[in-house]
Amino acid sequence: MQVRLFALSTCPYCRMAKRFLDDGSVQYELTEVDSLDGQEKDDAIAEVREISGGASFPVIVVGDEVIVGFNKKRIKELLDL
Amino acid sequence: MSAAFPRRRFPEGTTVEDLRSYMEPFVRQLGYRFNDDEEFVAEVLGSEIEILDSAGDVYCPCRVRSGNPKEDLKIVCPCIPFYADQFAKLQKCWCGLFVRTDVEDGSELHGVIEVPEGPADVPVALADEFPPGTLRTVRLGKRDVALARVGDEFFALGNVCRHAFGPLGQGFLDGHTAVCPWHGWRYDVRDGTTDHPGADVATYPTSVRDGYVFITV
Protein backbone atom coordinates (compact mmCIF):
# COMPACT_ATOMS: atom_id res chain seq x y z
CA MET A 1 0.00 0.00 0.00
CA GLN A 2 1.40 3.40 -0.95
CA VAL A 3 1.88 5.75 1.98
CA ARG A 4 2.54 9.47 1.63
CA LEU A 5 3.25 12.02 4.32
CA PHE A 6 2.86 15.75 3.70
CA ALA A 7 4.57 17.64 6.49
CA LEU A 8 5.98 20.97 7.64
CA SER A 9 9.49 21.03 9.11
CA THR A 10 8.20 23.25 11.96
CA CYS A 11 5.25 21.11 13.02
CA PRO A 12 5.53 18.89 16.14
CA TYR A 13 2.72 16.56 15.01
CA CYS A 14 4.52 16.05 11.70
CA ARG A 15 7.66 15.05 13.59
CA MET A 16 5.60 12.65 15.72
CA ALA A 17 4.04 11.16 12.60
CA LYS A 18 7.50 10.65 11.03
CA ARG A 19 8.82 8.99 14.16
CA PHE A 20 5.75 6.79 14.39
CA LEU A 21 6.00 5.61 10.78
CA ASP A 22 9.78 5.11 11.10
CA ASP A 23 9.36 3.10 14.31
CA GLY A 24 6.81 0.89 12.54
CA SER A 25 9.27 0.41 9.63
CA VAL A 26 6.67 1.83 7.24
CA GLN A 27 7.96 2.86 3.81
CA TYR A 28 6.55 6.25 2.86
CA GLU A 29 7.09 9.13 0.52
CA LEU A 30 7.78 12.34 2.46
CA THR A 31 6.95 15.80 1.12
CA GLU A 32 8.21 18.52 3.44
CA VAL A 33 6.20 21.38 2.00
CA ASP A 34 7.95 24.33 3.66
CA SER A 35 11.37 23.06 2.55
CA LEU A 36 10.34 23.35 -1.12
CA ASP A 37 10.67 26.50 -3.22
CA GLY A 38 8.71 28.33 -5.89
CA GLN A 39 6.53 26.27 -8.19
CA GLU A 40 7.28 23.01 -6.38
CA LYS A 41 6.01 24.49 -3.13
CA ASP A 42 2.88 25.95 -4.77
CA ASP A 43 2.16 22.60 -6.40
CA ALA A 44 2.56 20.73 -3.13
CA ILE A 45 0.24 23.15 -1.29
CA ALA A 46 -2.33 22.85 -4.08
CA GLU A 47 -2.13 19.06 -3.81
CA VAL A 48 -2.59 19.15 -0.03
CA ARG A 49 -5.60 21.45 -0.42
CA GLU A 50 -7.12 19.13 -2.98
CA ILE A 51 -6.53 15.99 -0.92
CA SER A 52 -7.42 17.31 2.52
CA GLY A 53 -9.60 20.36 1.88
CA GLY A 54 -7.24 22.60 3.86
CA ALA A 55 -3.65 23.56 4.52
CA SER A 56 -3.18 22.02 7.95
CA PHE A 57 -0.51 19.40 8.63
CA PRO A 58 0.37 16.56 8.74
CA VAL A 59 -1.62 14.97 5.94
CA ILE A 60 -1.11 11.23 5.64
CA VAL A 61 -2.36 9.32 2.63
CA VAL A 62 -2.69 5.55 2.93
CA GLY A 63 -3.94 4.08 -0.36
CA ASP A 64 -7.21 5.95 -0.97
CA GLU A 65 -7.63 7.07 2.63
CA VAL A 66 -6.63 10.55 3.84
CA ILE A 67 -5.83 11.32 7.46
CA VAL A 68 -5.51 14.96 8.48
CA GLY A 69 -3.53 15.38 11.69
CA PHE A 70 -1.51 12.82 13.60
CA ASN A 71 -4.34 10.42 14.36
CA LYS A 72 -2.33 7.49 15.69
CA LYS A 73 -5.32 5.19 16.11
CA ARG A 74 -6.47 5.69 12.53
CA ILE A 75 -2.94 5.22 11.14
CA LYS A 76 -2.57 2.01 13.13
CA GLU A 77 -5.85 0.67 11.77
CA LEU A 78 -5.06 1.49 8.16
CA LEU A 79 -1.52 0.15 8.28
CA ASP A 80 -2.28 -2.79 10.51
CA LEU A 81 0.47 -1.78 12.97
CA MET B 1 7.57 47.77 3.16
CA SER B 2 5.29 48.01 6.16
CA ALA B 3 1.91 46.32 6.16
CA ALA B 4 -1.21 48.47 6.31
CA PHE B 5 -2.76 46.57 9.20
CA PRO B 6 -1.85 46.09 12.85
CA ARG B 7 0.63 43.34 13.70
CA ARG B 8 2.17 42.38 16.95
CA ARG B 9 5.91 42.28 16.70
CA PHE B 10 8.25 40.64 19.15
CA PRO B 11 11.79 41.95 19.71
CA GLU B 12 14.84 40.02 18.59
CA GLY B 13 15.93 37.51 21.21
CA THR B 14 12.34 36.66 22.25
CA THR B 15 12.40 33.41 24.23
CA VAL B 16 9.98 30.54 24.78
CA GLU B 17 9.38 31.93 28.29
CA ASP B 18 8.57 35.38 26.87
CA LEU B 19 5.95 33.87 24.56
CA ARG B 20 4.51 31.83 27.41
CA SER B 21 4.02 34.76 29.71
CA TYR B 22 2.65 36.91 26.90
CA MET B 23 0.09 34.35 25.74
CA GLU B 24 -1.05 32.88 29.06
CA PRO B 25 -3.29 35.74 30.30
CA PHE B 26 -4.81 36.20 26.84
CA VAL B 27 -5.83 32.57 26.34
CA ARG B 28 -7.11 32.36 29.92
CA GLN B 29 -9.68 35.04 29.00
CA LEU B 30 -10.82 32.77 26.17
CA GLY B 31 -11.18 29.68 28.36
CA TYR B 32 -7.88 27.98 27.43
CA ARG B 33 -4.58 27.10 29.13
CA PHE B 34 -1.26 25.68 27.97
CA ASN B 35 -1.18 21.92 27.36
CA ASP B 36 -0.11 19.86 30.38
CA ASP B 37 2.64 18.20 28.34
CA GLU B 38 5.46 20.68 29.12
CA GLU B 39 7.89 19.12 26.69
CA PHE B 40 5.37 19.45 23.89
CA VAL B 41 4.66 23.08 24.77
CA ALA B 42 8.39 23.85 24.68
CA GLU B 43 8.65 22.14 21.28
CA VAL B 44 5.75 24.09 19.74
CA LEU B 45 6.91 27.43 21.16
CA GLY B 46 10.47 26.65 20.03
CA SER B 47 9.13 26.15 16.49
CA GLU B 48 7.25 29.44 16.76
CA ILE B 49 10.45 31.28 17.70
CA GLU B 50 12.13 29.84 14.58
CA ILE B 51 9.16 30.99 12.48
CA LEU B 52 9.25 34.41 14.15
CA ASP B 53 12.90 34.77 13.16
CA SER B 54 12.30 33.72 9.56
CA ALA B 55 8.80 35.06 8.86
CA GLY B 56 8.35 37.99 11.25
CA ASP B 57 5.54 36.73 13.43
CA VAL B 58 4.57 33.69 15.50
CA TYR B 59 2.66 31.82 12.82
CA CYS B 60 1.19 28.39 13.58
CA PRO B 61 3.90 25.75 13.07
CA CYS B 62 1.31 23.24 11.78
CA ARG B 63 -0.26 25.28 9.01
CA VAL B 64 1.10 26.82 5.86
CA ARG B 65 1.05 30.55 5.19
CA SER B 66 -0.83 31.69 2.09
CA GLY B 67 1.34 34.74 1.47
CA ASN B 68 -1.73 36.97 1.81
CA PRO B 69 -0.97 38.93 5.01
CA LYS B 70 -4.63 39.50 5.85
CA GLU B 71 -5.43 35.79 5.56
CA ASP B 72 -2.28 34.80 7.41
CA LEU B 73 -3.24 36.91 10.44
CA LYS B 74 -5.70 34.13 11.21
CA ILE B 75 -2.89 31.67 11.83
CA VAL B 76 -0.81 33.88 14.11
CA CYS B 77 -0.61 32.19 17.51
CA PRO B 78 -2.82 32.25 19.56
CA CYS B 79 -5.43 31.89 16.78
CA ILE B 80 -8.29 30.71 19.04
CA PRO B 81 -10.82 33.52 18.30
CA PHE B 82 -10.67 32.80 14.56
CA TYR B 83 -11.58 29.13 15.07
CA ALA B 84 -13.41 29.45 18.40
CA ASP B 85 -16.33 27.22 17.36
CA GLN B 86 -14.14 24.42 15.93
CA PHE B 87 -11.65 24.50 18.80
CA ALA B 88 -14.42 24.49 21.40
CA LYS B 89 -15.52 21.11 20.00
CA LEU B 90 -11.97 19.79 19.71
CA GLN B 91 -11.27 21.06 23.26
CA LYS B 92 -7.93 22.33 22.01
CA CYS B 93 -6.36 24.48 19.32
CA TRP B 94 -5.11 22.87 16.13
CA CYS B 95 -1.59 22.21 17.46
CA GLY B 96 -2.75 21.31 20.93
CA LEU B 97 -0.54 24.04 22.37
CA PHE B 98 -3.67 25.23 24.17
CA VAL B 99 -6.42 23.10 25.67
CA ARG B 100 -9.72 24.18 27.17
CA THR B 101 -9.57 24.94 30.88
CA ASP B 102 -12.19 22.23 31.54
CA VAL B 103 -9.97 19.50 30.05
CA GLU B 104 -8.41 17.32 32.75
CA ASP B 105 -5.30 16.10 30.97
CA GLY B 106 -4.45 17.92 27.75
CA SER B 107 -1.73 15.44 26.79
CA GLU B 108 -4.48 12.92 26.04
CA LEU B 109 -5.77 15.11 23.22
CA HIS B 110 -2.59 14.85 21.12
CA GLY B 111 -3.28 14.35 17.46
CA VAL B 112 -7.07 14.51 17.64
CA ILE B 113 -8.23 16.88 14.93
CA GLU B 114 -11.57 15.61 13.68
CA VAL B 115 -14.17 18.15 14.69
CA PRO B 116 -17.20 16.42 16.26
CA GLU B 117 -20.63 17.17 14.75
CA GLY B 118 -23.30 19.15 16.56
CA PRO B 119 -23.48 22.36 18.57
CA ALA B 120 -20.62 23.66 20.69
CA ASP B 121 -20.46 25.66 23.89
CA VAL B 122 -17.80 28.20 23.09
CA PRO B 123 -16.08 29.93 26.04
CA VAL B 124 -15.89 33.63 25.26
CA ALA B 125 -15.17 35.57 28.46
CA LEU B 126 -14.50 35.38 32.17
CA ALA B 127 -17.79 36.27 33.89
CA ASP B 128 -16.06 38.25 36.65
CA GLU B 129 -14.31 40.43 34.11
CA PHE B 130 -17.54 41.21 32.26
CA PRO B 131 -19.49 43.43 34.67
CA PRO B 132 -23.25 44.11 34.47
CA GLY B 133 -24.06 46.75 31.86
CA THR B 134 -21.24 45.60 29.52
CA LEU B 135 -21.82 45.17 25.78
CA ARG B 136 -18.94 43.86 23.70
CA THR B 137 -18.18 42.10 20.43
CA VAL B 138 -16.68 38.61 20.70
CA ARG B 139 -15.23 36.65 17.82
CA LEU B 140 -16.73 33.19 17.28
CA GLY B 141 -14.81 31.64 14.43
CA LYS B 142 -16.12 33.21 11.24
CA ARG B 143 -18.78 35.33 12.89
CA ASP B 144 -18.85 38.18 15.38
CA VAL B 145 -21.42 38.10 18.17
CA ALA B 146 -22.48 40.91 20.51
CA LEU B 147 -22.38 39.76 24.14
CA ALA B 148 -24.33 41.71 26.76
CA ARG B 149 -24.64 41.38 30.52
CA VAL B 150 -27.75 42.69 32.23
CA GLY B 151 -27.67 42.04 35.98
CA ASP B 152 -26.45 38.47 36.29
CA GLU B 153 -27.77 37.35 32.92
CA PHE B 154 -25.79 37.10 29.68
CA PHE B 155 -27.27 37.55 26.21
CA ALA B 156 -25.69 36.89 22.82
CA LEU B 157 -27.01 38.35 19.59
CA GLY B 158 -25.96 38.98 16.02
CA ASN B 159 -23.36 41.75 15.93
CA VAL B 160 -24.47 43.43 12.71
CA CYS B 161 -27.17 46.09 12.89
CA ARG B 162 -29.69 45.54 10.10
CA HIS B 163 -29.90 49.27 9.34
CA ALA B 164 -26.44 50.15 8.05
CA PHE B 165 -24.40 47.16 9.30
CA GLY B 166 -23.00 48.95 12.36
CA PRO B 167 -21.25 46.83 15.02
CA LEU B 168 -23.83 46.34 17.80
CA GLY B 169 -21.19 45.09 20.26
CA GLN B 170 -19.55 48.50 20.14
CA GLY B 171 -22.77 50.25 21.08
CA PHE B 172 -24.20 50.64 24.57
CA LEU B 173 -26.82 49.06 26.79
CA ASP B 174 -30.00 50.72 27.98
CA GLY B 175 -31.59 48.14 30.29
CA HIS B 176 -32.27 45.12 28.07
CA THR B 177 -31.78 47.17 24.92
CA ALA B 178 -28.58 47.19 22.84
CA VAL B 179 -28.23 50.51 21.05
CA CYS B 180 -26.27 50.58 17.79
CA PRO B 181 -23.34 53.03 17.96
CA TRP B 182 -23.96 54.32 14.44
CA HIS B 183 -27.56 55.57 14.29
CA GLY B 184 -29.13 54.43 17.52
CA TRP B 185 -31.20 51.48 16.28
CA ARG B 186 -32.41 49.53 19.30
CA TYR B 187 -32.50 45.74 19.77
CA ASP B 188 -33.88 43.75 22.68
CA VAL B 189 -30.97 41.54 23.77
CA ARG B 190 -33.38 38.84 25.02
CA ASP B 191 -34.86 38.01 21.61
CA GLY B 192 -33.07 40.18 19.03
CA THR B 193 -36.22 42.10 18.14
CA THR B 194 -36.26 45.71 17.03
CA ASP B 195 -39.12 48.09 16.36
CA HIS B 196 -38.16 48.20 12.66
CA PRO B 197 -40.22 45.48 10.92
CA GLY B 198 -38.21 42.60 9.46
CA ALA B 199 -34.93 43.84 10.93
CA ASP B 200 -34.52 41.50 13.92
CA VAL B 201 -31.12 39.90 14.60
CA ALA B 202 -30.37 36.31 15.64
CA THR B 203 -29.83 35.39 19.28
CA TYR B 204 -27.75 32.53 20.72
CA PRO B 205 -28.09 30.59 24.00
CA THR B 206 -25.58 31.46 26.71
CA SER B 207 -24.53 29.74 29.93
CA VAL B 208 -22.04 30.30 32.76
CA ARG B 209 -19.87 27.50 34.16
CA ASP B 210 -16.68 27.52 36.22
CA GLY B 211 -16.50 31.30 35.91
CA TYR B 212 -16.68 31.33 32.09
CA VAL B 213 -19.42 32.63 29.83
CA PHE B 214 -20.30 30.22 27.01
CA ILE B 215 -22.22 30.89 23.81
CA THR B 216 -23.82 27.88 22.12
CA VAL B 217 -23.45 27.85 18.33
Instruction: Give the pairing of strands A29-32 and A3-7.
Output: parallel
Whether residue B125 is predicted with pLDDT greater than 90 in this model: the reply is yes
The DSSP symbol for B211 reads: T
Q: Domain range spanning residue B156?
A: 122-216
Asked whether residue B193 is domain-assigned, the answer is yes
Closest Cβ–Cβ partner in A10, A14, A16 for B51: A10
Domain stop point among B115, B137, B152: B115
> Can you give the pLDDT at residue B22?
94
Select from B16, B62, B68, B86 the residue whose CB has the most chain A CBs within 10 Å, as the one to mutate to test that interface. B62
Q: Are residues B127 and B107 in the same domain?
A: no
User: Do residue A10 and residue B43 have CB atoms under 8 angstroms apart?
Assistant: no
CB proximity A70 to B under 8 Å = yes
CATH number (domain holding residue A55) = 3.40.30.10
Q: What is the average pLDDT across B3-19?
A: 74
Q: What is the average pLDDT across B163-186?
A: 97
Whether residue B155 is predicted with pLDDT greater than 60 in this model: the reply is yes
Domain count for chain B? 2
Asked whether residue B182 is domain-assigned, the answer is yes
CATH number (domain holding residue B126) = 2.102.10.10
Closest Cβ–Cβ partner in A8, A13, A16 for B64: A8
Q: Domain range spanning residue A22?
A: 3-79
> Can you give the pLDDT at residue B162?
96
> Can you give the pLDDT at residue B2?
43
Q: pLDDT-derived band of residue B7, with 50, 70 and 90 as boundaries? A: low
Asked whether residue B164 is domain-assigned, the answer is yes
Closest Cβ–Cβ partner in A12, A48, A71 for B43: A12
Domain stop point among B58, B86, B115: B115
Domain stop point among B115, B140, B162: B115
Domain count for chain A? 1
Q: Are residues B63 and B153 in the same domain?
A: no
Whether residue A2 is predicted with pLDDT greater than 80 in this model: the reply is yes
B159 with B137: CB under 8 angstroms?
yes
Which region holds residue B178: left if phi is over 0, alpha if psi is between -120 and 50, else beta? Answer: beta
Q: Are residues B129 and B81 in the same domain?
A: no
Q: Are residues B134 and B99 in the same domain?
A: no
b (16+ CB within 10 A) / e for B94-112: bbbbbbbbebeebeebbbb
CATH number (domain holding residue B87) = 3.90.460.10
Q: Are residues B212 and B126 in the same domain?
A: yes
The chain-wide mean pLDDT, for chain B, equals 91
Q: How many Cα neighbours within 13 Å face the side chain of B156?
A: 21
Whether residue B3 is predicted with pLDDT greater than 70 in this model: the reply is no
The chain-wide mean pLDDT, for chain A, equals 92
Whether residue B56 is predicted with pLDDT greater than 90 in this model: the reply is no
Whether residue B6 is predicted with pLDDT greater than 50 in this model: the reply is no
pTM as predicted: 0.81
CB proximity B43 to A under 8 Å = yes
- Which chain A residues contact residue B76 at CB under 8 A? none
The DSSP symbol for B132 reads: T
CB proximity B105 to A under 8 Å = no
Query: Does ipTM top 0.90?
Result: no
Asked whether residue B8 is domain-assigned, the answer is no
Cβ pairs bridging A and B (under 8 Å): 56
Q: Are residues B70 and B44 in the same domain?
A: yes
pLDDT tens, residue by residue, A20-46? 999 999 999 999 999 999 999 999 999
